[in-house]
Copies of this chain bind each other. A is one copy, B any other.
């Protein structure tokens, strides 16, 4: 990793840190990009070579989750069912791909609930992830899943999990501690999974 790359990574992190701090103290909308850039000691114009928009500051590793999920699909075992693989992939993406617990994550959850622009960006990123995962899942089971079915399967899982989790996290008390978040996520996944599990 060259000096350039290291410096760039440091600046990027400084921007995220500054944003978390400022958003937390004065609120999302009341914080301008100029302020964030100033706090990270770069020019306002330069900000946009690090993040395409203000919202993206809250999702600095959006692609890592997808990579983890895609890898999990690639590493499936021979007998595994599509729904099983998908579930494992989504679980792994949540566990492995970083902070569900840091201050950034907490802020992200709160702002996703409260600020329309953030929710919009969040939904859009989720949508893109979903599509990517569906493509890979379809490719992994060419004779069992066409593009449309794969999209529907992933859409159902992600849709159910997201809806359930959001409902759970509406309760501010639950948002307070990370253990509760993880438990909620677990519960949500199970609710989502129910129609696909063997029935009585």
The chain A residues found within 8 Å of chain B, CB to CB, are 116, 119-121, 123-124, 127, 130-131, 134, 147-149, 151-164, 166-168, 187-188, 191-192, 194-196
Contacts and interface: CB of A to CB of B under 8 A. Distances in A.
Contact of A161 (B131, B134, B152): B152
A116 B128 CA distance: 11
Contact of A116 (B124, B134, B148, B157): B124
Nearest to A193: B152
B121 A156 contact: no
Nearest to A119: B124
A195 B119 contact: no
Contacts of A159: 155-160, 162-163
Given A134-B163, A158-B159, A159-B158, A152 B192 contact: yes
A144 B67 CA distance: 38
Given A120-B123, A127-B119, A148-B187, A163 B167 contact: no
